[in-house]
Structure 1
Amino acid sequence: MSTDNLSAVLHCNGDLRLEQRPVPEIATDEVLLAIDSVVVCESDLLYFTDGFIGNFNLTKPMIVGNGAAGVVAKVGKSVNHLAVGDRVAIQPSVPCRNCDHCKQDRQFHCENMVFCATPPYDGNLTRFYKHAADFCFKLPDHVTMEEGALIEPLSLGVNICRVGDIRLGSRVLIQGAGPIGLVSLLAAQALGAAEILITDLEQQRLHLAKELGATHTLLLDREQSAEQLAKRVRSTMGQSPEQAVLDCARTNYIANLNSWGFLCSGGTLLGVGNGARYFRGDRERETKVHGVRYCDTYSAALALVASGKVNVKRLVTHHFDITETVKAFETFRYGHGDAIRVLIHVQPRDANNPVKF
């Protein structure tokens, strides 16, 4: 096996370097993966620009990357469901299995969660990465490695819809046509939402949202108040939405919109990103606020992609080799409306994809 383990290591905010790291040794319940593709996500970018997210601070060099797919290179002795050569999507969060939450089947509230590229744990933007085998999901033969890497953000969109009870006939407002807003759109559409309005500050992103199936789009005006925008939403949809997805990671302007005021009585605001913690529901109108992360939705997200119900490939706007990692991060940071999903290829592109005849 090669000893080349080129890795993208963040030393402090703004200081991202390519370095050699030792190839990991695996435990009996782990697999060693030859990483193929990694999607640059919002958390990667925030550590790169700010050095922290919430209470998680970068205090030592950390390998970045969490949404990834790879090929099994070695299996632990107790692993039976995977074999060398299998192509897998990697769920980046691994619960401890021992705390009270885990024992009560609430693993995604685990008090000791290990999460890729979240201090103090390294991520998977590296040639070889070890991971718990039961959190590696085998890809069907027709699913590409790039699609496998995108299961991570899509799984969040799926859980947003599940927590918000988005279903057949739902009326949904999505504030922010960034990467999370767009996967929320794809998931809501797949689950049967009848009407989806998506807003953003950039018309280019709204064009993509319309192409992906949004029923309506609205270009935001920074000078407009939340009350004025709420009137525009109701005018466009004919009535207030039942659910609103607030992508707090996109801009401070979007995070500052008091989006529960857009909802019909009894509606639900689904907040994604750090800004969500500052929102409260309206007791008089029985509106509710939920913060959302992904939660045991990897299988469902993979099934949506494998069945063809969701096409995540359209979200990918840029491709880079691992040697171009810094350029990839800068593109995601400054790409404005045309940088939706940036993929980094650790192995040559299409090297592990299905052969097309």
Structure 2
Amino acid sequence: MAMLLLSTTADKEQLKAQRRTIVLALLISLLLHVVVLSFTLHRPGKDETLLTVSLLEPPSSSKRQIVSPSKAPESAISPNTERLSDKNTLAEKESIKRGLPSEGQPTPPSKAVPETKPQPQKQPKETQPIKQATPAKPSLKLSDQRVLSTVGSLPVPSETGKPKTMQEKINEVVRSQQTELAKPFRKSGSQGAFFGQDGVPDHLPDIPDGDITMLNAKAFKFAVFVQRVAYRVFGEFRQRSWESLPASEILRTRGSVTVMATLNPKGELIKAEMLDSSQSKAFDTVLIGAANAGAWDHNPPPGAAAEDGNIHFLFKAKTWVRRSPDGVREQRWILLGTALL
């Protein structure tokens, strides 16, 4: 029994010694960790220097005077002035002429060496007859009564200077070769054109097989009005069985057919008559019918009327026919010349 108690006491002492050893080791380890961490965290670093920044104002620029001050004495301020200045000065004398780039006298031109020329022999001067002084003609004014007596002695203008009569205007258009020398047909895909004297045609997209042209200056003057009427007559021309005419009938035509359409001042058609035939009755009939149906306008300009107060149109038409490039179909062409008398 005594042996058992001694062994138990020895075991307890041994356990206490082991516990003390473990606690001491833990304390030493904890102390070492604390020392290492303290050195790591509190490592001496570089000294940080603070920079002091001060804002300095830029030095004020000295005012440079480009032009020297005027030496002229100051004058009184004008009450009705538009622009003000620091000083009121007056230029008493201008030393540089206007328009010259700089003052100073120009350099004298270099003297050229004179060439020795043979002197011609002196001829005796002819005695000129003394002209007698002619009395000055008094100037005439519109209010002077002598104007009529002076103007009345002027020659009467010849017949060529008189204005053209209606028949002369008609003959001039009928004899015109503008439609006879025209070239028919255009490239495929292009549009019709309304040709005037300005050389720039107005394109007409609704006319695939013809052109319209003006034949005199008055038609060009009222181009908008003439274009309306001519475009309408051209449309009637194409709708009146022109395409159904046989090719032999078109080839029978010789020249152009001319039709005169007379409108009253309101633009209503009075009559349409043929003046010149194309030697094809069928083609002439088509143009007469087109003029009867399309020669009118709701708003004619006042200046388009002739001396008799009516409006006179001349329509001069010419047609062509040919085989198409494929050799199967045929192509037709119309040229409608329009004149305003």
TM-score above 0.5, yes or no = no
The structure with more radius of gyration: 2
TM superposition score normalised by structure 2: 0.21
Larger relative strand fraction: 1
Higher relative contact order (CA 8 A, sep 6+): 1
TM superposition score normalised by structure 1: 0.21
